[in-house]
Structure 1
Amino acid sequence: MDFGFTEEQLAAVEAAKSVLSGVAVDGVPSPALTPGAVAEDFDRALWRKLADGDLLSLTLDEAYGGAGLDPIALCLVLREAGRVLARVPLLESCAGALAVQRYGSAPLRERLLAAAGRGETVLTVAANGRSGHDGAELAVRAQRVDIGGTDGGGFVLDGVQTGVPWARSCDLVLVPAHTADGAAVVAVVPLDADGVAPAEQVSTSGERFAEVTLDGVGVPATDVLDADGAWEWLRQALTVGTCALALGLGEAVLGMTSAYASKRQQFGYPIATFQAVAVQSADRYIDLRAMEATLWQAAWRLSTSASGPLPVAGDVAVAKIWAAEGVRRVVQTAQHLHGGFGADTDYPLHRYHAWAKQWELALGPAAAHEEALGDLIAAHPLTT
């Protein structure tokens, strides 16, 4: 069996490297201690380059101007974005568009997807907060109603979603909500719609997030993904994409640490030659390889719907456990081996540390996914 990437997937990686090669990481102050270090908006110039390089339409069908690739290709691009801390809603917009393509109505697909692939319409997803697999756990309520002049009626949304990434700069937000019978639906809501009120929040990485309040927001049925499994699939896609971002970040940090340890001398020798330093670096390399293996397993299951001893949610949980724990250990070791230099807010390691913490906790920390994995194993006992 061939476990290698396809020519199309590798071409996407090369295109991403070319576009992202100009992203500056050095010389950018850390947002943790430097007010105003992060711009009010995401990197629009980079967004335009990603669109021009056909990277925003990568997973869309040819009918919408895309290349028709799978989530594995998106994760390969996200890995490169994580290496340079690309300040764009690449994961949220692409995963949201792919969910619309899989589960959305024909009018919604026609209206939204081509524009999203060209970068003209930017999506985000309200996936943080209380957003479990069970619809009853979702923080927003969706009540089915008749909307005058709208075929099929619609829904009215009420509730609050916290920590919505890039919400101050995006056009549409995909909001998971629960219905009266406990089912989960995903509504596509304009952020400037009546009844939508985003309040300013700042993420651990220093980026602008928002707490989005929805008060009697009407959404036509054509703009709601109400098929079984739509929200679960979207949440899994976001989680796997976060693992890809964390992997790219971790690889960049380990490379940064190896370069520093090779130059930094103590007692007349590079500290990289000391056994204690070499062992710690080797342990972090093993973490990254485990993060990579579990990421591609989860991305493959998500892309192919292949069967396994557990549902795909099990592979996603394993990938997020490794991503969360692994990226935390990588940046902690980097800080330790850099000594006081790692605490310099003008040195890029400080920014990587802040972003690593953001992705470690996004969509649930390792402990939450360990609990979810335990529940899956209990519900699907393995037999020999």
Structure 2
Amino acid sequence: MDFTFTEEQQAAAEAARGVFAGVAPDGVPSPALTQGRPVADDLDRALWARLASADLLSLLLDEESGGAGLDAVALCLVLREAGKVLARVPLLESSAAAAAVQAYGGPELRSALLERAGRGEVVLTVAASGRTGHDAAELAVTARQDADGGAGGEGGDWVLDGVQTAVPWAYEADFVVVPARTGDDRSVLAVIARGQEGTALAPQISTTGERLGELRLESARIPAPYVITADGAWESLRALLATGTCALALGLGDRVLAMTSDYASKREQFGHPIASFQAVAVQTADRYIDLRAMEVTLWQAAWRIASGAPGALPASGDVAVAKIWASDGVRRIAQTAQHLHGGFGADVDYPLHRYHAWAKHLELSLGPAAAHEETLGDLLAAHPLGA
């Protein structure tokens, strides 16, 4: 089997490196210095425009919608580069939401959003944290459809009630994709415009210092064309979001380990670089192993999503394995970096402080490794290998 990236995938990664080359993570204030306020009032619009100009916001869109027609592997390659510089843009959320609309949305919704999203004119995000951040997102909101028929026989408006917490870029996005549960236990995706009647936002601050939003829905009426009812839409979107988050964690880990290696090779104690000490070398070697495990499980999950290839387990099993390694790995890498940097690791004027905050945010977004191990165990029980 050939595990090398295609020319198109490598070109996307190269374009991303060029766009992100000028991004300086230490140019954003530390959350510790903002006294409970967000570190910025908006996403990085200049960077967002550069991503649009480089056609990196339309990677997953087909040519008909002005995109490149690439896959999850290409997106994860770009997200890896974004993670290295802590890019303050909803690249993952907007790309994943657009992909869901393209794959499962109706003609009216695709026409209204896809080309504009690919050009960066419309920002999309996804509410995926549920009511508390610990429960299933689709169970936090209920959805019911009016009995009255709508135009074109599409049915009446959908009415949504519930709460979604920690919605990323909720104040900056033009549309939020909200999973919801129907009375007959089906999942739907509602594409909700900012300021929609029946919705309200309350500000929240993430570990990174970025502004999140608590989205409340009280009898919010969403037109039928803006609600995706196709089977598997939410499951597909959720898997892509999780895998993309693993890619961000891998990029962050790459950068943090490089920073640590550079520091350890220059910092001297007792007349020798601390990198020459066995205890330091062993710790950095362990973290390198973490990175390689994060990488191989990420590409396995991304490949399964992109190819739809059959396997001994459903693709959700590969996603669970990637999340196990990313959640534990990014935490261990950040902790080791802070330990080996000594006082510099806690200095809010030094960029490592921001990487540690983002690592914790990504770890919390992915969820605890133990929960994913339980999911994997359930899948193994339901699909015995070799059976």
- Calculate the TM-score normalised by the size of structure 2: 0.96
**CA separation of 1:246 and 1:135: change in aligned 2, threshold 3 A:** closer
Offset of residue 364 of structure 1: 2.3
Contact 1:89 1:124 survives alignment (8 Å): yes
Residue by residue, what CA displacement relative to the aligned partner does 1:94-130 show, whole Å, maximum 9, x if unpaired?
Answer: 0000011111111111111000000001000000125
Alignment of 1:210-359 (within 5 A): 210-359=213-362
Offset of residue 27 of structure 1: 4.7
In structure 2, the residue matched to 1:4 is: 4
The structure 1 segments of at least 4 consecutive aligned residues displaced by more than 6 Å after TM superposition are none
Which residue identity does 2:32 align to in structure 1? A
In structure 1, the residue matched to 2:208 is: 205
Residue by residue, what CA displacement relative to the aligned partner does 1:166-219 show, whole Å, maximum 9, x if unpaired?
Answer: 101110000000000111111101021101101000111110000000111111
In structure 2, the residue matched to 1:59 is: 60
Which residue identity does 1:70 align to in structure 2? D
3-state SS of 1:362 partner: helix
3-state SS of 1:58 partner: coil
Offset of residue 131 of structure 1: 9.4
Offset of residue 32 of structure 1: 3.3
Greater mean alpha carbon deviation, residues 311-320 or residues 142-151: 142-151
3-state SS of 1:217 partner: strand
Which residue identity does 1:211 align to in structure 2? E
Residue identity (%): 69
Work out the CA distance in 2 between the residues paired with 1:353 and 1:289. 19
Contact 2:250 2:294 survives alignment (8 Å): yes
Contact 1:157 1:217 survives alignment (8 Å): yes
Q: From 154, 157, 162, give the equivalent of 2:157.
A: 154
Work out the CA distance in 1 between the residues paired with 2:137 and 2:150. 30
Unaligned runs of 5+ in 1: none
Which residue identity does 2:381 align to in structure 1? A
Work out the CA distance in 1 between the residues paired with 2:137 and 2:356. 35
In structure 1, the residue matched to 2:363 is: 360
Contact 1:32 1:204 survives alignment (8 Å): no
Q: Find out whether 1:86 has 2:87 as its counterpart.
A: yes
Contact 1:155 1:218 survives alignment (8 Å): yes
Which residue identity does 2:6 align to in structure 1? T
Offset of residue 381 of structure 1: 1.6
In structure 1, the residue matched to 2:43 is: 42
3-state SS of 2:151 partner: coil
Offset of residue 30 of structure 1: 1.8
Greater mean alpha carbon deviation, residues 210-219 or residues 19-28: 19-28
Greater mean alpha carbon deviation, residues 363-372 or residues 212-221: 363-372
Greater mean alpha carbon deviation, residues 159-168 or residues 354-363: 354-363
CA RMSD of aligned residues (A): 1.7
3-state SS of 2:32 partner: coil
3-state SS of 2:120 partner: coil
Work out the CA distance in 1 between the residues paired with 2:221 and 2:307. 35
Unaligned runs of 5+ in 2: none
Which residue identity does 1:25 align to in structure 2? P
Residue by residue, what CA displacement relative to the aligned partner does 1:3-59 show, whole Å, maximum 9, x if unpaired?
Answer: 100000000011001010010123543213433571110100100000011000111
Offset of residue 363 of structure 1: 4.1
Residue by residue, what CA displacement relative to the aligned partner does 1:53-95 show, whole Å, maximum 9, x if unpaired?
Answer: 1000111000011000001100000000000000000000000
**CA separation of 1:360 and 1:135: change in aligned 2, threshold 3 A:** closer
3-state SS of 2:311 partner: coil
Alignment of 1:98-109 (within 5 A): 98-109=99-110
Contact 1:131 1:137 survives alignment (8 Å): no
Q: From 164, 167, 171, give the equivalent of 1:164.
A: 167
Work out the CA distance in 2 between the residues paired with 1:232 and 1:259. 41
